[in-house]
Amino acid sequence: MSLLQSLGLRRAPARPALARDFHCHLLPGVDDGMRTLDEAREAIAGLRRLGYRGGVLTPHIYPGVYDNDAAGLRAAFAEFRSQIGEDYALWLAAEYHVTDALFERIAEDDLLHVPLGDRRLVLVEFPSLMPAPRGIDALAALARAGYQPVLAHAERYRYLQTDPEPWLERIARHGTWVQCNIGSLAGLYGEGPRTFAQDLLARGLPVLWGTDLHRPRQIERYIAPGLDRLGGLGRLNAALDALEEADA
């Protein structure tokens, strides 16, 4: 019997060491994420309690749904960062939905991205229900243009869940990094994404894990228990350790 057991205490669940989040909707008032500065502050306080010390903001860019552009988001980000201060390191990227506009931005070499060494990380979101041949085209175009494509919440796409092998092969063909949502492991999006996230984890495929946080209440309900299932990773998002705060 261990000392903890003999004292009648349960061992705390193992969690990975945390530093930086990748994928969240903290920037207030620009998409379906945080609605106010107060809500964003509450979320950051909750993330800090979990152990996060910073994160990459990824507001939606989805013409006709979230009509954001790089210039507007950069301005909103500069204001937000001045309001948050230095307690939480922030970087700005975006979550690009696959549309004609994305291909135009790639052609113009004008994408919100995270510089990481000699890589330029761009987060791309596929449609959730319908197969997206153009999604693979977007990954290929990004790679050709010298970007590092990152596929957002790979576990959430139904067509990947039902037919993973060919899709994962197509995605890997362009050197795409797979990103998964921590909350998926705790059932935030239902059973399909939960089991597929576990499958991707078992395959060792996710390079990055994100909170994809939209509301502060998701932290205790889904992110904390999701992290309890990631203890085997040791350190979460180690790839982001090379992010330089001076570049933020």
Shortest distance (Å) from residue 55 CB to Fe ion: 12
Assigned token pair, 36: 């106010």
Q: Which helix (H) or strand (E) element contains residue 83?
A: helix 70-84
Q: Which is nearer to Fe ion, 18 or 93 (CB)?
A: 93
Minimum CB separation of residue 189 from Fe ion in Å reads 11
Measured from the CB of residue 139, what is the shortest distance to Fe ion in angstroms?
A: 17
- The most distant pair of C-alpha atoms in the chain lies apart, rounded to whole Å, by 64
Contact 178, 151 (CB under 8 A): yes
Q: How far is the CB of 179 from Fe ion (least distance, A)?
A: 10
End-to-end CA distance of the chain: 49
The distance of closest approach from Cβ of residue 30 to Fe ion in the complex, given in angstroms and rounded to an integer, is: 12
By beta-carbon proximity to Fe ion, the closer residue of 152 and 171 is 152
Rounded to a whole number of angstroms, the minimum distance from the CB of residue 14 to Fe ion is 27
Q: Which is nearer to Fe ion, 95 or 155 (CB)?
A: 95
Minimal CB distance residue for Fe ion: 212
63 CB neighbour count, 10 Å cutoff: 13
In angstroms, what is the minimal distance from the CB of 40 to Fe ion? 15
Structure tokens at 162: 């039902």
Residues that bind Fe ion (CB under 5 A): 95, 212
Compute how many other C-beta atoms are within 10 angstroms of the C-beta atom of residue 41: 18
C-alpha 122/C-alpha 151 separation (Å) is 9
Nearer to Fe ion, 25 or 105 (CB): 25
Nearer to Fe ion, 163 or 186 (CB): 186
Q: Which residues in 126-152 are b (16+ Cβ under 10 Å) and which e?
A: beeeeebebbbebbbbbbebebbbbbb
Spatial contact of 91 and 24, defined as CB atoms under 8 Å apart? no
Q: Please give the Cα distance from 139 to 144 (Å, whole number).
A: 9
Q: Which residue's CB is nearer to Fe ion, number 93 or number 116?
A: 93
User: Which residue's CB is nearer to Fe ion, number 21 or number 212?
Assistant: 212
> Distance of alpha carbon 123 from its chain centroid, rounded?
8
Q: How far apart are CA 100 and CA 111, in angstroms?
A: 14
